[in-house]
Structure 1
């Protein structure tokens, strides 16, 4: 049982390192992070969830995404504060994927996509104003 949590954590960490070049680009980071982590969360939940473990699996995926980003921020927070939005948006995408997986309702999928598009379109500029 614990091995599936470790697999989910490592898959999330692997996705972070595979998409690192794109996750640190200001223009594509939020889109890449949210789409990749939404798909990864849904696939891992589909593979490992038996109806009772969707929240711990989602938490392992979020931890695998946040751990490298937070560890980089401990080195020097000032330049990294602008990039904090990307891991937060990836975490929202994982939560939305878990919500969709638990309910399997098309309305939730459409609302999730609308939320992701709105956050990706309007979020980075607002975050720069807040963080700047």
Structure 2
């Protein structure tokens, strides 16, 4: 039984994604002048198949049957962009793009933090009896 209806778990997964994206963007910025460095990005992996697995309602008829629940692994992966080259030294980091993506990711992360704080604030209110 999921005590919070999956909301806290979804927020946690989103925070993991935003943190991984922040690390990746920061790494790209740090290597903007490194010869031969190829930029990286964080993408969702198997999003469609995960959604399909979540929507399928299956009944286990035997205790040894494999459950149809999705795995609890990370919902993202880091990929390297090898198809472009912006600088003469083989580096493909566009610093303006990376800074924009970093700012967008920071706004997204802060929104997630506000939402999870709201959830915990609501729980705190319930625990205190509405006061």
Normalised TM-score (structure 1)? 0.31
Question: Which structure is higher in strand share?
Answer: 2
- Considering only CA atoms, is the larger Rg found in Structure 1 or Structure 2? 2
Question: Which structure is higher in helix share?
Answer: 1
Normalised TM-score (structure 2)? 0.31
